[in-house]
Amino acid sequence: MAGIREPLLIVPGFQWLGRNVGIKDDTLDFAVAYADRPCAASAVFTRNNFPGAPVIVGREHVADGRLQAVVVNSKNANVATGFKGVEHARAVCRKVGKVLDIDPRLVLPGSTGVIGVELPIERLLNASSAIPSELGRHRAHLEAFARAILTTDTRPKAVSLRVGNATLTGVAKGAAMIEPNMATMLAYFFTDAAVEPAALATMLRQAVDKSFNRISVDTDTSTSDTVAILANGLAGPVDASAFSAALEEGCIYLAQEIVRDAEGASKFIELTVQGAPSAEAALRFAKSVINSPLVKTAIHGADPNWGRFVMALGKVFDHPFPLEGLQITFGTGTDALTISAQNQAAEILADIAVYLRENSDVHLGIHLGAGNYAERVWGCDLTAEYVRLNAEYTT
């Protein structure tokens, strides 16, 4: 086991808060995390060509591998707001730095919500004045932080693990605009392990690639994605391989929680593609299937239409393979159901329909018969509720 999974744990040397500042409604929409001393830090951001202002500023602030605070607002993404948006993100960092008596370049900003709307900067600056008196070290403060970063999520997402004497806790938000790299998501990890910034950056990128970069809700890459980790070193050094494995485990857990809480989703899908000619090909095949609206809707409707899988695999143009070797399996273990070009009996199709109808966790296996490589991804079904939520997002 990479680490010992625990209930949500506070991390020594950190404080948090979550409160409402009235950006959109009366729910929590302003969150701050603060470390008692500067931390080794790393972050991974969206690859969208139009990143939000907090991403632009965040890349600058984390470039030297040091952070001490995180400030996040929900309900407004501060994206497509031009020079003023960037200045607003900087202004929030300056204010937070001033009230906490730290260099503003040690503050990582984050915003999530509606794109193309100017940030209500005065609300954020006014709220920042009270940060020192509202920060706390209790679990309730951490839980408030986790709730304050949510948008259309139905619940907070959090995980804690122990690695030797150190604690690793992560919180995340995300429910739609989800397709790597990465998604309309924010994830923040806090640890008291002592890890150098360069090693932390390598570990985080590896963990993100195996987790947040392998989930799909709707194939849209957000402008605001951020995954960051702060390590204050209070627990001393830890085994590097164990910590890296624990970070990957925590990222995978939060990535799966995002998919389970996806907008309108009724089914969680785990898909493994095997028998590919390369790892790159295996991942491309897996993403082509997990991203397909036709596959997603078939699973939602319990329609055993294996032709939709054939279509999704066949549009990976650079990697043709013989259809005769293709096998698609629904379920696991001795009860698994397999369909192929040679086996499309009506009884199998009927059993697949029952499996899809009766299981909220759907396990799919695709064997291409074209090589020795395998990759795994996660996704969800596509429902009418997803369409309704996004059709009414700003109304």
Indicate which CATH number applies to the domain containing 326: 3.10.20.340
On whether both 277 and 247 belong to a single domain, the answer is no
On whether both 162 and 17 belong to a single domain, the answer is yes
pLDDT at residue 386 in the model: 81
Angle, vertex CA 262, rays to CA 257 and CA 264, nearest 5? 140
Alpha-helical segments (H) within 110-239: 121-128, 131-134, 139-148, 197-209
Q: What's the domain count of the chain?
A: 2
| Residue 139 Cα distances to 15, 128, 136, 155, 254, angstroms | 10, 21, 9, 16, 18
On whether both 290 and 249 belong to a single domain, the answer is no
pLDDT at residue 184 in the model: 60
On whether both 186 and 255 belong to a single domain, the answer is yes
pLDDT in tens, 69-89: 999 999 999 999 999 999 999
pLDDT at residue 113 in the model: 87
| Residue 126 Cα distances to 18, 90, 130, angstroms | 15, 15, 8
On whether both 225 and 304 belong to a single domain, the answer is no
pLDDT at residue 54 in the model: 95
Is 152 tagged catalytic?
Answer: no
Q: Which of 184, 223, 226, 383 is catalytic?
A: 184
pLDDT at residue 182 in the model: 41
pLDDT at residue 181 in the model: 47
Task: Kindly report the length of the chain.
Answer: 395
On whether both 230 and 374 belong to a single domain, the answer is no
On whether both 381 and 297 belong to a single domain, the answer is yes
3-state secondary structure of 23: coil
- pTM, full prediction: 0.90
On whether both 290 and 183 belong to a single domain, the answer is no
Burial (CB count within 10 angstroms: exposed 0-12, middle 13-18, buried 19+), residue 376: middle
pLDDT at residue 221 in the model: 65
pLDDT at residue 66 in the model: 98
Alpha-helical segments (H) within the chain: 53-62, 82-100, 121-128, 131-134, 139-148, 197-209, 240-260, 279-290, 293-300, 307-314, 346-358, 384-391
Residues of the chain with pLDDT under 70: 1-6, 175-184, 218-222, 393-395
pLDDT in tens, 349-384: 999 999 999 999 999 999 999 899 999 999 999 888
Given 240, 260, 280, which residue is the final one in a domain? 260
On whether both 240 and 99 belong to a single domain, the answer is yes
Say how many Å lie between the first and final Cα of the chain, rounded. 46
Contact 340, 328 (CB under 8 A): yes
Given 260, 289, 316, which residue is the final one in a domain? 260
| Residue 309 Cα distances to 94, 213, 289, 336, angstroms | 51, 21, 6, 17
| Residue 319 Cα distances to 199, 316, 367, 371, angstroms | 35, 6, 14, 11
On whether both 286 and 233 belong to a single domain, the answer is no
Looking at residue 50, which CATH number applies to its domain?
Answer: 3.60.70.12
What is the rounded average pLDDT for all residues in the chain?
A: 92
**How far is residue 320 CA from its own chain's centroid?**
31
Given 202, 237, 260, which residue is the final one in a domain? 260
Contact 63, 198 (CB under 8 A): no
Domain of 143, in residue numbers = 4-260
On whether both 69 and 186 belong to a single domain, the answer is yes
pLDDT at residue 216 in the model: 85
| Residue 198 Cα distances to 47, 126, 205, 239, 323, angstroms | 21, 36, 11, 15, 45
On whether both 98 and 246 belong to a single domain, the answer is yes
pLDDT at residue 395 in the model: 63
